[in-house]
Amino acid sequence: MALPVAFFALFFAWPVAAIVTRGLKADGAWRLGRLVDVVTQPDIRHVLWFTTWQALASTALTLLLALPAAHVFARLDFPGKQLLRAVVTVPFVLPTVVVGSAFLALVGRHGLLDELWGVRLDTTVWAILLAHVFFNYAVVVRTVGGLWSQLDPRQEEAARMLGASPLTAWRKVTLPALAPAVAAAALMVFLFTFTSFGVVQILGGPAFSTLEVEIYRQTSEVFDLSTAAVLTLVQFAAVGAILAVHAWTVRRRETALRLVDPKTTARRPRGFAQWALLAGVLASVAVLLLLPLAVLVRRSLDGRGLGYYRALTDADGGTFLVAPVQAVWTSLEYALAATAIAVVIGGLAAAALARRDAGRLVRGFDALLMLPLGVSAVTVGFGFLIALDRPPLDLRQSWILVPLAQALVGAPFVVRTMLPVLRAVDGRLREAAAVLGASPWRAWREVDLPMVRRALLVAAGFAFAVSLGEFGATVFIARPDNPTLPVAVARLLSRPGELNYGQAMALSTILMVVCAAALLVLERLRTDRTGEF
């Protein structure tokens, strides 16, 4: 635990504490009254209300649209099911900037809806809600569908034989068993939408602002660190409460249920109702998930074909100091470095947490590992500039600053992927290796590593995908001569002109293809124990 604890203390706790202290302390005295002053401001209350309201609405809409798909993946067997599972998961690993760009191409000015019917939904709450459904659809399908596929269908069939209607049998037998998984999925979706930044920043416009967007505005545009610090504390408290409830629902989910092999529960569709449900889910996937991505690719192509892609090789001297295509190679280099860091930190933390003799303090660190996913990435990025500015950790001009920020987001995915597999390794195998004279390192290499190798590769893939798309912290610390892909897309979208818009769509398409390729590799490596969120 020494290295993970030191890493999170230096590169998460210290930067966040530095910016909060800078904002709430003046002339050596704490200005705690600033907390009340900020929270009671009408515009801040509106931000808090909209942040909560849109998160609740996004969660409800996601559950409404994704639960039927969870049933289809759990109970029905049909050709192309594994490919469709990968397609459904693609949006989750896409950077939020790409999601915003895809919906901008669909519902924005000169978007598909504007060209066909003269309808624009950008800068409206509906664009934000639909983009959040697009992004979180896979969370519900994977979390709920994973448990649903392991529930014994004979329990529901027994209720049907006793006279219950299909709806009553589902409501009284299946739903109570699924309730912990549904609650866990809902909390995860709420967490992701409550802290939404890239989607709201691109689609919301000046009319809509979440806590994360307002922290960014107060920090980078208004330069009001005290307000940003208060909003960071508010978000921190809200995320802590969400994670506490999530931990409770996960413990409930781990209670005894009659589980069976998921391969035995899926059947070919039978009857009109099941075929209609399958057709409806396929149609919703096509409209909600595939259409925005297809429109994104279409908008990246001008009338001459690949003109926007060719323009990426030219440095215009305005938006970037280098050719935009350089952002592709910069992002890949940063993501590879961040993946290496996340695998080391997350792997060590997972190994410590998997030990059966781990103390309460070590187990408590498991919850702290999730905080970087919910705490403002904007705060972390700006905190890097404030805290890491003095020797021996003066890293403001170092290239390693971006991978460090990205690794903070990737490490929790590594822990969540590797921990169940490490806990499943029989400790007696290590003891037998020790009896035969193997050192602890050799026992791990000969016993644990062969069993967790696939999980390690899956964890590395997830860390690579999320590092590649990290935006909130990177937008502060990426150097002008080395922009990452998400930062490059955001800068291009912020400038007027058809060429800038086309280049943003082209870079977003490249980023989408890279993330999708990484996900398809993960699906090839996936096992039943590492494939669910």
Q: In sequence order, which ranges of 76-222 are alpha helices (DSSP H)? A: 81-93, 96-107, 112-117, 125-148, 153-161, 166-169, 175-194, 198-203, 211-220
Quote the percentage of the chain above a pLDDT of 90: 15
**Tokens read off for 104:** 């901008």
Give the pLDDT of residue 82: 78
Give the pLDDT of residue 63: 94
Q: pLDDT tens digits for 42-72?
A: 888 999 999 999 999 999 999 999 999 998 9
Closest among 474, 469, 471, 483 to 516, alpha carbons compared: 469
DSSP state of 259: B
Q: b/e string for 339-359 if b means 16 or more Cβ within 10 A?
A: bbbbbbbbbbbbbbbbeeeee
Amino acid at 526: R
Q: pLDDT tens digits for 206-261?
A: 778 888 888 888 888 888 888 888 888 888 888 878 877 766 766 555 444 555 55
Distance CA 121, CA 130 (A): 10
What are the residues facing 30 on neighbouring strands? 25
Confidence of residue 203 (pLDDT cuts 50, 70, 90): confident
Confidence of residue 523 (pLDDT cuts 50, 70, 90): low
Give the pLDDT of residue 285: 92
- Look at 265 and 286; give whichever has higher pLDDT: 286
